[in-house]
Amino acid sequence: MLHFSSFHPKHTKTAIPYGQALRVHQICSDEKERDGHLEVLRDALTRTGNDAQLIERQFQHATARNRNDLLRRQTCAATNRVPLVVQYFPGVEKLRHVLRDLQHIINEDEHLSKTLPTPPLLALKQPPNLKQIIVRSRVSGQLYTTLSQQGCPEAWYIGETKQRLRQWMNGHLSTINRQECSLPLGNTSVVQDIRPWTFG
């Protein structure tokens, strides 16, 4: 589960104990069994930096819900509020108050008051994480040009893989053995000289 010190909106982190407890309350029909699972959940939440009072408050809020109501299909009420999408930053909650406090300026305008009768709905999106900043999934045109100039006009960008090295190598060897010409490694005109690979 998400650690409480993570760079996420506070309401997202405080909602985790409630959401997980609500799920346990919904699944378990026996209260004794439910309380046992909640105890395991309480321990896990404590280890991820959640405050004990917050956990207890959210657990009580979740278990106070009528279980029969939770088992019925829930529908979300439609809203016509215009979303304002911004990247999350530590002071983003202040922006919500600013939108609410300045709504009177919009209400005073004849046209805007019809378009935005209520404050915009603040929607948060995740800022780029470290992986997205330093890893690119596409090769730039400049790199393709460089490869071509180095005698690789048929260069293909393979991309990153999460497979183990053994699986990755076996997949390529299978492609070569089947001579799948649609793939660069399966084309025997490309793979003319295969030397033993050693991995230290």
Alpha-carbon span 68 to 14, nearest angstrom? 25
Predicted pLDDT of residue 135: 74
84, 122 in Cβ contact below 8 A? yes
φ, ψ at 115 (rounded to 5°): -80, -40
Q: Which of 77-81, 111-115, 184-188 has the lowest mean pLDDT?
A: 184-188
30-35: list long-range contacts, CB under 8 Å, 24+ apart.
34/63
Residues 137-186 have pLDDT tens digits of 665 555 555 555 555 556 555 555 567 777 877 887 887 777 765 555 54
CB 125 within 8 A of CB 86: yes
- Please check the confidence at residue 7 and state whether its pLDDT lies above 60: yes
Q: What tokens were used for 94?
A: 């202040």
Rounded to whole angstroms, what are the CA distances from 128 to 7, 10, 96, 131, 140?
A: 12, 18, 22, 8, 20
Confidence at residue 112, expressed as pLDDT on a 0 to 100 scale: 85
Cα 162 to chain centroid, rounded: 18
**Dihedral of the alpha carbons of 170, 174, 180, 186, in degrees to the nearest 10:** 60
Q: Does the pLDDT value for residue 56 go beyond 90? A: yes
The pTM of the full predicted model, rounded to 2 decimals, is: 0.48
Q: Is the dihedral of CA 131, 132, 134, 138 positive or negative?
A: positive
Q: Are 180 and 186 in contact (CB under 8 A)?
A: yes
